[in-house]
Amino acid sequence: MSDHNVRNAGFTPSGISGGSLASSLMSQEARSSGGGVHSGGPTSTLQEMGAKGTTHSSGYTSSGISGGSRASNTMSKEATAHGGGVPRGGTTSTVQSI
């Protein structure tokens, strides 16, 4: 994953760009969770990366998730919370796809 991809999706140092993939994701996540965007969810994770420019060290790569990385930790926690699988539309799958 590159900082360029994350910023092109609308996750920028100045916030989420209106009309972008990021704003659509934020809206969908807020609706599905009753009106809020949770810390550690896809929107907040990607926004943090977009604001800081830290995608290169996160562990989300074009080859998959790097072992021992922040991404693998997130994936493990998410799989445990969902009975052993990583749900489609969850933090891991959404961030990895971008």
Average pLDDT value for residue range 65-80: 87
Same domain, 43 and 20: yes
**DSSP structure class, residue 56:** G
pTM beyond 0.85, yes or no: no
Q: Which domain holds residue 22?
A: 1-54
**Residue 73 falls within a domain, yes or no?**
yes
Report whether 42 contacts 49 (CB < 8 A): no
**46 near 11, Cβ under 8 Å?**
yes
Whether residues 45 and 78 fall in one domain:
no
Q: How many domains does the chain have?
A: 2
Helix (H) or strand (E) holding 91: helix 91-97
| 14-59 confidence digits (pLDDT tens) | 999 999 999 998 998 898 888 888 888 888 888 888 888 777 678 8
Same domain, 42 and 83: no
